[in-house]
A and B are shown apart, each in its own frame.
Chain A
Amino acid sequence: MEFLEFEGKTTEEAIQHACEYYQVSPEKLEIEIVTVGSPGIFGLGSRKARVRVTRREEAEPDLKSLGQELLEKFLEKMGECGKVSGHQEDDRLYLSIDTEEAGLLIGKQGQTLEALQYLLTKMLVKKSRRKVRLAIDIESYRARHQQNLSQLALRYGEKVKKSGRPVTLNPMNPHDRRIIHLTLQDDKDLKTMSRGEGLYKKVVIYPARKKELQGANPGLA
């Protein structure tokens, strides 16, 4: 374990410096007082207080192991056994569940997986006091799901082009809508837009008019 020393006029001040350094509250730190400071007289014989400090074990901000641990416990409470593996990429944490009952945990249209991810994100935010971006996956359901969605988008895109009429898709959550929008964003003949209120909106795919394409926003093209 790594110890660092901090100085201050008093022990309190030294501890405060340590807290500022680690950006945590004092109770999260293991503190050992090396010397108690004394103010001295007229600045003579004054001694600085020194403390040795290290982070407490549980305060370690390792999001990955925290997330893994929490999710495993979560599954256990649900009466499931599953192994959780994870990796971190920039500020995103990816957790993957290895279980025999994937279907149950994914749920209808990924509902259960969605709920699990949402709740775990909240828990992690609460525990780590940071912004957490988390994605949970089971048997690469997410990748498959994403592929299905873009195929759906392309299929309906073709339909719109043929018929020249807009098509409205089923209500989807923001993540799924994003996939639809992204899949079709490069298609100059189509436009997409989300309709509705709240979390679940419908995506409308409609043909871009020729006039709009040539005229209006050259800057956006």
Chain B
Amino acid sequence: MKDLIKFIAQALVDYPDQVQVKEVEGEQTSVIELKVAKEDLGKVIGKQGRTARAMRTILSAASTKIRKRAVLEIIE
């Protein structure tokens, strides 16, 4: 899951090397924390949160498959 978010985020931002993804695994739910350069924050959130929402949709589809839940958090 971590890889997936990293892959998406890096393809969207201006500073791919500053993309950091951390996965905090819980029993059923894991939290994926995404951190990008300050200038890129808007790019991963998108107009009215559209990009962030799309990433969350993809994430939940991908995690259904492995019967887990994943939550994406974008960290400032």
Residues of A within 8 A of B (CB): 70, 73-74, 77-80, 101, 104-105, 107, 111-112, 114-116, 118-119, 122-123, 126-127, 198-199
Of B4, B11, B48, B57, which contacts A107 at CB under 8 A? B57
Q: A112-B58, A115-B57 are in contact. Are A126 and B4 (CB under 8 A)?
A: no
Interface size class of B (residues with CB under 8 A): 10 to 19
Q: Given contacts A73-B7, A78-B4, are A119 and B51 in contact (CB under 8 A)?
A: yes
Please name all residues of chain B whose beta carbon is closer than 8 Å to the beta carbon of A70 when the two chains form the complex: 11
Given A107-B57, A112-B58, A126 contacting B12 (CB threshold 8 A): yes
Say yes or no: A78-B58 contact (C-beta < 8 A), given A104-B64, A115-B53, A119-B51.
yes
Give which listed residue, B4, B11, B57, B64, contacts A111 with CB less than 8 A: B57
For the complex, would chain A's binding face be called helix, strand, loop or mixed by DSSP majority? helix
Inter-subunit contact B7/A77 (CB<8 Å) = yes
Chain B residues near A73: list those with CB within 8 A.
Answer: 7
CB neighbours (8 Å) of B50 from chain A are 118, 199
Q: Which residues of B contact A115 (CB under 8 A)?
A: 53-55, 57-58
B53 (CB) vs chain A CBs: closest residue: A115
Bound CA span A118–B57, Å? 11
For residue B50, give the distance in angstroms from its CB to the closest CB of chain A.
7
Q: Is B38 an interface residue (CB 8 A)?
A: no
Pick from A78, A79, A119, A126: contact of B54, CB below 8 A. A119
Measured CB to CB, the closest approach of chain A to B43, in angstroms, equals 8
Question: Which chain B residues lie closer than 8 Å to A105 at the CB level?
Answer: 61
What is the bound-complex CA distance between A12 and B2, given in angstroms? Answer: 44
Does the CB pair A112–B11 fall under 8 Å?
no
- Which A residues lie within 8 Å of B7 (CB)? 73-74, 77
Could you tell me the distance between the alpha carbons of A64 and B61 in the complex, rounded to whole angstroms? Answer: 25
Complex formed: what's the CA distance from A151 to B68 in Å? 37
Which among B53, B58, B64, B65 is the interface contact of A116 at CB below 8 angstroms? B58
- B61/A127 in contact, CB under 8 A: no
Does B62 touch A at the CB level, under 8 Å? Answer: yes
Q: Kindly state the separation between the CA atoms of A8 and B53 in the bound complex, as whole angstroms.
A: 51
Given known pairs A104-B64, A199-B48, the reply for A122 and B12 (CB within 8 Å) is: yes
A73 to B7, CA, bound (A): 9
Contact of A104 with B65 in the complex, beta carbons under 8 Å:
yes
Contacts A78-B62, A112-B57 aside, 9 further interface pairs with beta carbons under 8 A come to A77-B4, A79-B66, A101-B65, A104-B65, A115-B53, A119-B54, A119-B55, A119-B58, A126-B12
